[in-house]
């Protein structure tokens, strides 16, 4: 196998020297309306990041095809639902760039170019590749697209020259393979420096992105397992209050509390996890005292949890209702975001093409030696 030349490459943190905001890239698959696990695990953190960083948040419809290629009928509507929840949660199109992945064709171009230099073994060793093949039995995942989805993720990140990617611990391997691919590309295709520019140009195209480990509080579903729509245990951000209260009413509790008079422990109770995330310190203190002494029952504890949760969901649902009534506005915001994303992506791709000597600019032909004309082999 060809080995890429190695260079001492600075990491992406050097962007701060130019006075620009560092970049963040993250996205979600279009699985329809988002649930509390999506909010707690990612979306709430994105809202905080959009003022500190130059953020790109996308909806990964091409990633959805890696496993759901057999039925694409719901993908477009699901993109609108996800964007509506992005906006409802507090992402602001004036403060971040939101778009649909397939509306920026440069994602596909970079993915193709990176596929030419990425060793097959790198993709096969990604932990989630084997895990999902083992866990998802009702779909045929023996496809090129599914094997290559980590590389598509890398292309997504590298296309915007992202400095950071907010992830949980389980996603760190995806960032590591992106760093390796960026390093390999930069080794094969170093960037030419230009002396007459106001600032020295870096000698590489792609910075090596860093994982921005984000706190991800434990939020189980109503049955105590990880919250997932496929498990039927999720509470949606858009669920009306009566539905939220009914779902919480059925939530499993501390198995030690068989009778009302049995003391419990909020630290081993899924309802306790809801309180830790959404309830005030005062309410949490009452929950601990009441549960451990059997002074309150599980029903009362769940009512308090619903009260706390609705204080967070009410403003989200008010914003969602406004956008839900005008889906064309949501689509317009997505298209505007895609325009900005395409501009940023094309800037990167111009650097890529120059580094690979595959520029679309015909003027470079004049720089070739007139003594020799290279023949281009027919495909």
Of 249-253, 271-275, 307-311, 368-372, least confident by mean pLDDT is 368-372
pLDDT recorded at residue 159: 98
pLDDT recorded at residue 28: 96
- Burial call 148-169: b when 16+ CB within 10 Å, e when fewer: bbbbbbbbbbbbbbbbbbbbee
Average pLDDT of the segment spanning 214-225: 88
The yes-or-no verdict on residue 130 having pLDDT over 90 is: no
pLDDT recorded at residue 276: 96
Dihedral sign, Cα of residue 177, residue 180, residue 181, residue 182: positive
- 164-204 residue pLDDT tens: 999 888 788 889 999 999 999 999 999 876 544 545 567 89
Share of the chain above pLDDT 70, in %: 87
Average pLDDT of the segment spanning 139-147: 89
The Cα 81–Cα 110 span in angstroms is: 28
Average pLDDT of the segment spanning 279-284: 96
Contact between residue 86 and residue 49 where contact means Cβ atoms under 8 Å apart: no
pLDDT recorded at residue 363: 73
- CA separation, residue 78 to residues 61, 82, 156, 212, 341 (Å): 9, 6, 20, 27, 20
The yes-or-no verdict on residue 314 having pLDDT over 90 is: yes
pLDDT recorded at residue 372: 43
Q: How confident is the model at residue 7 (pLDDT cuts 50, 70, 90)?
A: very low
Of 58-72, 130-144, 282-296, least confident by mean pLDDT is 130-144
pLDDT recorded at residue 12: 43
Q: How confident is the model at residue 15 (pLDDT cuts 50, 70, 90)?
A: low
DSSP 220: B
pLDDT recorded at residue 367: 55
DSSP 168: -
The Cα 8–Cα 74 span in angstroms is: 46
Q: How confident is the model at residue 330 (pLDDT cuts 50, 70, 90)?
A: very high
pLDDT recorded at residue 170: 78
Determine phi and psi for 58, rounding to 5 degrees: -125, 170
Q: How confident is the model at residue 93 (pLDDT cuts 50, 70, 90)?
A: very high
DSSP SS3 for 122: helix
The yes-or-no verdict on residue 266 having pLDDT over 90 is: yes
Question: Domains in the chain, ordered, with CATH?
Answer: 12-218+326-367 (3.40.50.620), 239-324 (1.10.240.10)
Q: What is the average pLDDT score of the chain?
A: 88
**Which two three-digit tokens encode residue 322?**
């406004």
pLDDT recorded at residue 19: 67
Angle separating helix axes 298-324 and 241-249, nearest 10 degrees: 150
If you compute the radius of gyration of the chain from its CA atoms, what whole number of angstroms results?
24
Q: How confident is the model at residue 52 (pLDDT cuts 50, 70, 90)?
A: very high
Contact between residue 96 and residue 53 where contact means Cβ atoms under 8 Å apart: no
- 59-74 residue pLDDT tens: 999 999 998 899 999 9
- Give 184 or 217, the one with higher predicted confidence: 184
Average pLDDT of the segment spanning 80-106: 98
């Amino acid at each position: 196998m060809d080995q890429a030349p190695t260079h001492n490459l600075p990491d992406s943190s050097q962007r701060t020297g130019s006075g620009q905001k560092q970049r963040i890239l993250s996205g979600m698959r279009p699985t329809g309306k988002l649930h509390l696990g999506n909010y707690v695990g990612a979306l709430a953190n994105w809202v905080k990041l959009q003022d500190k960083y130059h953020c790109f948040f996308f909806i990964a419809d091409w990633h959805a095809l890696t496993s759901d290629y057999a039925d694409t009928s719901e993908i477009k509507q699901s993109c609108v639902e996800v964007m509506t929840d992005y906006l409802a949660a507090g992402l602001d199109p004036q403060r971040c760039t939101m778009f649909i992945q397939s509306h920026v064709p440069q994602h596909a171009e970079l993915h193709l170019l990176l596929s030419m230099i990425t060793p097959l073994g790198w993709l096969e060793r990604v932990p989630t590749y084997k895990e999902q093949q083992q866990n998802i039995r009702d779909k045929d995942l023996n496809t090129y697209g599914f094997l290559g989805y980590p590389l598509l993720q890398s292309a997504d990140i590298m296309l915007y020259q992202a400095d950071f990617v907010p992830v949980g611990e389980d996603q760190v391997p995806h960032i590591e393979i992106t760093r390796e691919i960026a390093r390999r590309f930069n080794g094969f295709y170093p960037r030419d420096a230009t002396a007459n520019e106001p600032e020295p140009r870096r000698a590489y195209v792609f910075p090596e992105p860093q994982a921005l480990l984000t706190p991800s509080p434990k939020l189980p579903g109503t049955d105590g397992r990880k919250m997932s729509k496929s498990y039927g245990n999720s509470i949606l951000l858009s669920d009306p209050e009566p539905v939220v209260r009914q779902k919480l009413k059925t939530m499993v509790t501390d198995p030690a509390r068989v009778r009302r008079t049995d003391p419990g422990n909020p630290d081993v109770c899924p309802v306790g996890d809801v309180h830790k995330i959404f309830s005030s310190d005062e309410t949490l203190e009452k929950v601990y005292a009441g549960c451990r002494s059997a002074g309150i029952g599980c029903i009362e504890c769940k009512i308090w949890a619903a009260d706390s949760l609705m204080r967070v969901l009410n403003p989200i649902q008010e914003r969602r209702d406004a956008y839900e009534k005008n889906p064309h506005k949501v689509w317009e915001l997505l298209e505007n975001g895609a325009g900005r994303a395409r501009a940023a992506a094309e800037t990167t791709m111009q650097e890529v093409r120059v580094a690979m000597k595959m520029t679309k600019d015909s003027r470079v032909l004049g720089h070739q030696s007139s003594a020799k004309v290279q023949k281009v082999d027919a495909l």
